[in-house]
Structures are given as C-alpha cells and as structure tokens.
Amino acid sequence: MAERADWLPRAALVVGAVTLARLVALWFNKTDLFVDESQYWLWGERLDLGYYSKPPLIAWVIRAVTELAGSDAPFWVRLPGAIFHGATALILGAVSARLFSDRAAFWTAITYATLPMVALGSLLISTDTIMAPFFAAALLFYIRAADTGRVAFGAFAGFCLGLAFLAKYAAVYFLIGAVLAAVFVPALRPDLRGWAAVLTAFAVAILPNVFWNLSNDLTTVAHTVDNAGWVQHASWFANLNPAGLAEFFFSQFAVVGPVIFAALLFGYVRPGSAGGRALVLFSLPVLGIVCVQAFLAQAYANWGVAAYFAGTVLAVAVLLDRAPRLLPWSFAINGALSVLLPVLTVIAPVPERGGEPLLARYLGRADLSHQIIDAAAAAGASGIVAGDRDILADLFHTGKGMGLSFYALPPKGRPRSYYEQNFPLPADVAGVLLVAGDAPACAGAPVAEFDTGNGAHAGRVLRAWLLPEGCRDAGD
C-alpha cells in the first residue's frame, strides 16, 4: 500500500481554517459549562488515575490546559475540543492515504472536520473528543504495522489505543475490529511480534487505571455496567425496546450527516478493496453492539462514535468510487450545520422555542450558582449542600476561590455520583446552606428562594435553608 503526502498541505489548510474559526466562536460562546464539563474540570483539580464514571485522561488534559492558561474560564476548559478534532481529521486523512488515494485522504480529512458530531464536539468538551485522535492514531499505526511488519508501529498502535482507552472505555471496540480484521483480511494482519507489541503497549498504558479500579471497588467499571442496564437484570427480555433501537439508528443520520451515514451503510455491504473490508470490521461491530444495547435497554446517540473513525474513511472511499458528485453536497450540508451550531452559542439565549431558549440546558447554570453563593454569604453559611448533581457541578466551578465548602447529601447505600463519593456532608458540620426543592422540618423556614429563569433549571422551585447541626436529610 503506497503512502502519499501531497494531500496534506491542502487538507491542513482547510482543517486549520475550520479549527481556527471554531476557536474564535468559542471565545464568544455564551453558554455555561454543562454538568459533565464542570465535573471533568473538577476531576482535573483533583488529579487521579481514575474517577467515578470515566477514566482519567479528560481530567488530565483539562488540567494541563487551564494550568497553562492560568484560567478556569469555559473557553479554556473547552479549548481542547476543536484542536483534538482537527488533529483527528488529519490522522484519518493519513489512514485514507495509506489505504486508498491522495484524493480520498483530502476528502476524508475535510469530511471528518465538518461532521455534525465533530461540530458539536468542538463546542463541548467530552470523553469522545479526547478519545478521537488517539483512536485514529491507533488505527493508522496498526495499518502500518500490518503493512510493514515493523514492531515499533505495533507498539505505537497499542500505546495510542491505551491513551484512547484512558479517555473512554469504548476504545476497547478497536480490539474487536483488529481481531476480526486479522481473521478475515489477511492483508491487514500483523505478525505475532506485531500483535505482541500492540497488546503489551496497550496493557502498559492502561495499567495505572486498572490498579486504580481494583483499589476503588471497580467504581468506574460498576458505573459502566449501570449504564448498560440490561446486563444487571435477568428479565431484560421482558423489556425489549424496539422504539429505542429505531431512535438510535435513525439518529446516526444526524450524528455524521445523511450522506455519510448512507454511504457507510452501503460500504458495509459493498466495501470493495481489502482496506475497505478491514474498515467495515473496525466500524460495523461498534454500531451492531450499540444497536443491541438500544434494543435491550437504551442507547444515546453518541454511544456509537467509535464507529466513525474507520467509518468516515470508508464512507468517503465509497462515495469517491460510486457517487463522487455527492461528496460536495455532503460537505455543504454538514458544513452548514458546522456553521450554525457555533452561531447558536454566540447569539444565545436567542432563538427561542415554545418560550424557552433553544439552548436552555446550557444556560442559567452559573447565574443560579451566583444566587446561591450570595444567599450563603447573606446567611453567614460556611458551606453549601445539595443533592442535585447539576447544581453541585456548577457550584464547584463557579464558586472556586470564594471561601465556601460544597457538599453532597450523604449517600444512602452506594454513592450515585462523584460528589456523593468524595464530598458527602460530614455529620459534625453545621451552619451550611441546603439548596433543594424541599427540606425536613428541622431545617426551619427557608432563607431564600431562587429565580431559575428560562435556563437549565427553568420551572423548578429551589429554596435555601440554613441547616442546624444534626439536620442533614433533605426532602424530595
């Protein structure tokens, strides 16, 4: 398989321009950090080898960026998103150049850069985004290891895969694809030394997180199993969810755009070359597994993201071979959405739908935190306690350096969040402000009621009580 580089300057120019435009829009972004983003930032403030619900790489990346910037502002927390996706686009271009052609490499890079999931992932920091360049690099080095027989490439593939796994456990799908490709596509089968290098480097990279899980009651693994849902219940067959399967499947036309997803489905049936067949095996099992999850319980639209690293390369190759005129149309459709999404974050809180901002779930979080912090200061509270993960997440971020302690209500049984796990309200702490919809009689009269506006907490009744010692349990 010949490797070409003529495509790279042109692709880098386009991808670089798109990435720069996204960073400019991000600077003017008016949305608040979402609950997950605030939690990832907090993890970065408490560096560890693992966390309650995810592996640690996203926290390490955010901490590195905010330390270098000297700021915890949302712009800096989200900054890696556009850069990581830009890098992923060029890496996938290199995969396409290796398997197909210079032309395919260029179109792969700019197609990935404008996928709807990438446009969204460049606005919000997520584990999918942090996983992306490492998964793509693992694919590139794996192909080079199979093509050249060089052990070093196998080691690079395994190490990159380990980093992808430290970003999101969904990276393990890569191993399924690699095994299937080795069995059914001999041209992309590393020798035994190559396989040993892949697996050894992967094991070394993930070992710290494995030890962390073993030392912390397999916390992250347990949370992952909780997300699967049906794994824990023998009666899963009584609760089949065909509507959920349909919703997940058809949502994928929005995740990567209608033309790309349709081309990918065609590619699964008619992949063409050996490279195309290998890409099918790195992509199709991911969607198949998540479709089963959707049918047995539920699956969110982004749970299939790992399918689209190999999948984008395959879809572009199929379009160039079968319907090249559709590629500019796909670029135009996805490009329009790539422009629209950041524009919406800049002009928020407009537009509105049904009297509420279209981006309501990303608005009003910091404002509520400021109200709560002001109420705590007026009441002379030493800290704030809440049972709502959304409220706690933003309080930790917005309230950093304000001299207040933040607590979760003590868990009843196994902790249900990172906050319950690490910040439960101690029994001997008094004079804290409880934020909830209701409170036990021992809390007395509320000292404040908050304006939840038209943002993420719209329609909720939230009040504050100054808790005396021994009064810790909030009502529903």
In this predicted model, what pLDDT tens digit does every residue of 276-312 receive, in sequence order? 999 999 999 999 999 999 999 889 999 999 999 999 9
Residues 301 and 428 in one domain: no
DSSP 208-259: HHHHHHHHTTTHHHHHHHHHH-GGG-TTGGGG--HHHHHHHHHHHHHHS-HH
> How many Cβ atoms are within 10 Å of 23's Cβ, its own excluded?
18
Residues 412 and 319 in one domain: no
Is residue 274 over pLDDT 60?
yes
The mean pLDDT of 339-365, rounded to a whole number, is 94
Is residue 70 over pLDDT 90?
yes
Give kind and range of the element (H or E) at residue 467.
strand 463-467
Residues 134 and 262 in one domain: yes
Is residue 314 over pLDDT 70?
yes
The mean pLDDT of 49-73, rounded to a whole number, is 96
Residue ending a domain, choose from 302, 318, 347: 347
Instruction: Give domain status of residue 77, yes or no.
Output: yes
CA 109/CA 100 separation, integer angstroms:
13
* Percentage with pLDDT > 70 across the chain: 94
pLDDT computed for residue 354 by the predictor: 85
CA 461/CA 257 separation, integer angstroms:
39
pLDDT computed for residue 474 by the predictor: 47
Is residue 207 over pLDDT 50?
yes
Instruction: Give domain status of residue 402, yes or no.
Output: yes
| Helix, coil or strand: residue 406 | strand
How far is CA 16 from each of CA 5, 114, 141, rounded to the nearest angstrom?
Answer: 17, 12, 23
DSSP 164-188: HHHH-GGGGHHHHHHHHHHHH-GGG
Residues 366 and 315 in one domain: no
Residues 155 and 220 in one domain: yes
Instruction: Give domain status of residue 1, yes or no.
Output: no
Residue ending a domain, choose from 321, 347, 373: 347
Residues 308 and 164 in one domain: yes
DSSP 46-99: S--S--SSS-SHHHHHHHHHHHHHT---HHHHHTHHHHHHHHHHHHHHHHHHHH
Residues 69 and 120 in one domain: yes
**C-alpha 150, offset from chain centre:** 33
pLDDT single digits (tens) 400-439: 999 999 999 998 888 889 999 999 999 888 889 999 999 8
User: Contact, 62 vs 125, CB < 8 A?
Assistant: yes
User: Minimal CA–CA distance to 187: which of 108, 267, 273, 266?
Assistant: 273
Instruction: Give domain status of residue 356, yes or no.
Output: no
Q: Which residue has the higher pLDDT, 204 or 218?
A: 204
Residues 77 and 201 in one domain: yes
Instruction: Give domain status of residue 355, yes or no.
Output: no
Is residue 355 over pLDDT 90?
no
Please list, in sequence order, all residues whose beta carbon lies within 8 angstroms of the beta carbon of residue 205, skipping any fewer than 6 positions away: 158, 159, 161, 162, 163, 165, 166
The mean pLDDT of 316-324, rounded to a whole number, is 96
The mean pLDDT of 175-198, rounded to a whole number, is 94
**Token code pair at residue 224:** 């992952």
Band the pLDDT of 225: cuts 50, 70, 90. low
Residue 281's Cβ-count burial label (10 Å; 0-12, 13-18, 19+) is buried
Residue ending a domain, choose from 347, 381, 416: 347
Instruction: Give domain status of residue 357, yes or no.
Output: no
CA 158/CA 171 separation, integer angstroms:
11
Is residue 313 over pLDDT 80?
yes
Residues 297 and 376 in one domain: no
pLDDT computed for residue 427 by the predictor: 83
Rounded to the nearest integer, the mean pLDDT of the chain is 92
Helix axes 7-27, 326-347, angle to 10 degrees: 20
Band the pLDDT of 2: cuts 50, 70, 90. very low
**Token code pair at residue 116:** 């709807």
pLDDT computed for residue 229 by the predictor: 55
User: Minimal CA–CA distance to 118: which of 91, 142, 139, 88?
Assistant: 88
CA 333/CA 314 separation, integer angstroms:
19
Q: Diameter of the chain by CA atoms?
A: 75
Is residue 230 over pLDDT 60?
no
Residues 402 and 323 in one domain: no
Structural domain including 413 reads 362-467
* Percentage with pLDDT > 90 across the chain: 84
> Half-sphere exposure of residue 458, counting CA atoms within 13 Å on the CB side?
15
Residues 394 and 319 in one domain: no
Q: Based on the structure, what is the number of domains in the chain?
A: 2
Residues 212 and 241 in one domain: yes
The mean pLDDT of 40-59, rounded to a whole number, is 95
Band the pLDDT of 272: cuts 50, 70, 90. confident
Is residue 261 over pLDDT 80?
yes
pLDDT computed for residue 120 by the predictor: 97
Band the pLDDT of 476: cuts 50, 70, 90. very low
pLDDT computed for residue 232 by the predictor: 54
How far is CA 331 from each of CA 44, 264, 319, rounded to the nearest angstrom?
Answer: 36, 15, 12
CA 352/CA 355 separation, integer angstroms:
6
DSSP one-letter code for 119: H
> How many Cβ atoms are within 10 Å of 209's Cβ, its own excluded?
21
Q: Which residue has the higher pLDDT, 226 or 100?
A: 100
Is residue 243 over pLDDT 60?
yes
| Helix, coil or strand: residue 324 | coil
User: Contact, 374 vs 391, CB < 8 A?
Assistant: no
Instruction: Give domain status of residue 473, yes or no.
Output: no
Is residue 336 over pLDDT 80?
yes
Instruction: Give domain status of residue 475, yes or no.
Output: no
The mean pLDDT of 178-198, rounded to a whole number, is 93
Is residue 150 over pLDDT 70?
yes
